[in-house]
Amino acid sequence: MEAHSLLSGDMHVLKCWTDIAPNGELFRPVRDLYRRRRALALHCHDYVEISWIDIGRARHVLNGMEFTVEPGSLFFIRAPDVHGLWPLGVETLGLTNIAFPSSVYEELRRRYPTEMAAAFRDGEPFGAALMLDAAGRRTINTWADELFLAPRHGSLPIDRFVLNLLTLLHKQQANAAAPAPPNAPDWLLRARRDIQQPRHFAQGVRAFFRLAGCSREHASRELRRHFGITPSQCVMEARMQFAARRLEMSTRSILDISLDCGFRDLAHFYKAFRAAHGTTPREFRMSHRIQ
């Protein structure tokens, strides 16, 4: 997934919690459809959102960067984040959005600081993003269904939803990460975690060095010492894991998936995929595709 800088002067509007929940509600679930003529223009909020794509694809602009999102894409939006969504082409975009006020967010962050930090990543350019498989999408929509039916003036339903989602995020991050060596420095573990994000690995090894926050020589030496791999191998692992998930869970073309991974040469992508998975992308999709 390639990210593109946008003009910093783009105009956006502020959405306020008291406008969308004027009766003191503590959460607001919404499912809606958007088409090319009806998009979500750039905006920020004084509240927090968790959103995911149910159908269709869209251009998601977030804090001056641009990403392509598709069914299963889930993102955590902080109050100051400036973002917008535009359906691609003539596709209809189905979006589920769970919003809640900053007071609920702060209370959850007070009670679960580590888990909330892993999801919303205050102080970093973006919150976390997930790519849900078919089972994950069914699960999270079941949780959302419960919110639609629940009374909205108590915090228990939204607390339960967020905690369930934080558990799902933790499991996905744990499954994607190699077992951490006991003496590996925190900055290296964070870099290994964050390079799994498409917006980072699409930029190649320079993104890994930026995430590490130290010299290239030191980062390379510590990565080899603790994990036995080079920065190039670390980035390639992240790209190939992402490519496999996309081939399983999306209808996106192999060429587009290769571009999302940061490849500019389709033959190079095929060679790297075969080396990682022992088969071609097309054969992998045919044998692993979720029906």
Identify whether 5 is part of a domain.
Answer: no
**Residue 2 is assigned to a structural domain of this protein:** no
Q: Are residue 193 and residue 124 in the same domain, yes or no?
A: no
pLDDT of residue 10: 56
Range of the domain at 144: 13-176
- Please state the pTM of the whole predicted model: 0.63
Final residue before a domain boundary, out of 140, 158, 176: 176
Is 1 inside any structural domain? no
> Looking at the domain assignment, is residue 4 inside a domain?
no
Per-residue pLDDT of the chain (291 residues), as tens digits, is 333 334 344 567 899 999 999 999 999 999 999 877 777 889 999 999 999 999 988 889 999 888 888 888 999 999 999 999 999 888 789 999 999 999 999 999 999 999 999 899 988 888 988 888 778 888 999 999 999 999 999 999 999 999 999 998 887 766 655 566 778 999 999 999 899 888 899 999 999 999 999 999 999 999 999 999 999 999 999 999 889 878 876 778 999 999 999 999 999 999 999 999 899 999 988 876 544
Same domain, 52 and 138: yes
Domain assignment present for residue 7? The answer is no
Q: Check whether residue 59 and residue 102 sit in a common domain.
A: yes
Q: Tokens 């991974």 map to which residue?
A: 261
Same domain membership, residue 245 and residue 128: no
**Domain with 247 in it: what CATH number?**
1.10.10.60
Per-residue confidence (pLDDT) for residue 142, from 0 to 100: 95
Gap between the Cα atoms of 261 and 237, Å rounded? 11
Answer yes or no: do 251 and 165 share one domain: no
Q: How many domains does the chain have?
A: 2
Same domain membership, residue 104 and residue 31? yes
Same-domain pairing of 47 and 23: yes
Domain boundary among 135, 156, 176: 176
Does residue 211 share a domain with residue 163? no
> Same domain for 61 and 113?
yes
Backbone torsion region of residue 123, taken as left when φ is above 0, otherwise alpha when ψ lies between -120 and 50, otherwise beta: left
Residues 204 and 130 in one domain: no
170 and 48 in a single domain? The answer is yes
CATH number, residue 110: 2.60.120.810
**Last residue of one domain, picked from the residues 125, 154, 176:** 176
Q: What angle (nearest 5°) sits at the alpha carbon of residue 63, between those of residues 67 and 144?
A: 70
DSSP-derived secondary structure for the chain? ----B--TT---EEE-HHHH-TT--S-EEEEEEEBTTB-EEEEEESEEEEEEEEES-EEEEETTEEEEE-TTEEEEE-TT--EEEEE-TTPPEEEEEEEEEHHHHHHHHHH-HHHHHHHH-TTSSS--EEE--HHHHHHHHHHHHHHHHS-SSSSHHHHHHHHHHHHHHHHHHHHHSPPPPTT--HHHHHHHHHTTSHHHHTTTHHHHHHHHTS-HHHHHHHHHHHHS--HHHHHHHHHHHHHHHHHHH----HHHHHHHTT-S-HHHHHHHHHHHHSS-HHHHHHHH---
Instruction: Compute the C-alpha angle 160/166/169, nearest 5°.
Output: 145
User: Is 278 found in the same domain as 193?
Assistant: yes
